[in-house]
Amino acid sequence: MDIKILGPGCANCHRLEERTHEAIAELGLDADVENVTDVAEIASYGIMKTPGLVVDDKVVVSGRVPTTREIAQLLAGG
């Protein structure tokens, strides 16, 4: 599984990254987590409000930080 955290390094981006790692650990997934900090690349995903969560090149969350449980559901469902 290929996971990207979109965000230039704001507080919310770090929180999303933390929770994503928690969710991955909870589910015991084998996943690569990559931070995308370049604004042009972030914008090319079509999100206008950071942070964003991209799973296998598909935007699943934009502009908010979901709870760890919600992220786990998104990862398990996707």
- Positions marked catalytic: 10, 13
Q: Which two tokens stand for residue 39?
A: 């604004």
To the nearest whole angstrom, how small is the minimum distance from the Cβ of residue 64 to other proteins?
6
CA distance 46 to 42: 7
Give every CB contact of residue 2 below 8 A, 6+ residues apart in sequence: 31, 32, 34, 55, 56, 57
Query: Least separation, in Å, of the C-beta of 28 and other proteins?
Result: 26
Which residues in this chain contact other proteins in the complex, by CB under 8 A?
8, 10-12, 39-40, 42-50, 57-67, 70
Between residues 28 and 78, which has the closer beta carbon with respect to other proteins?
A: 78
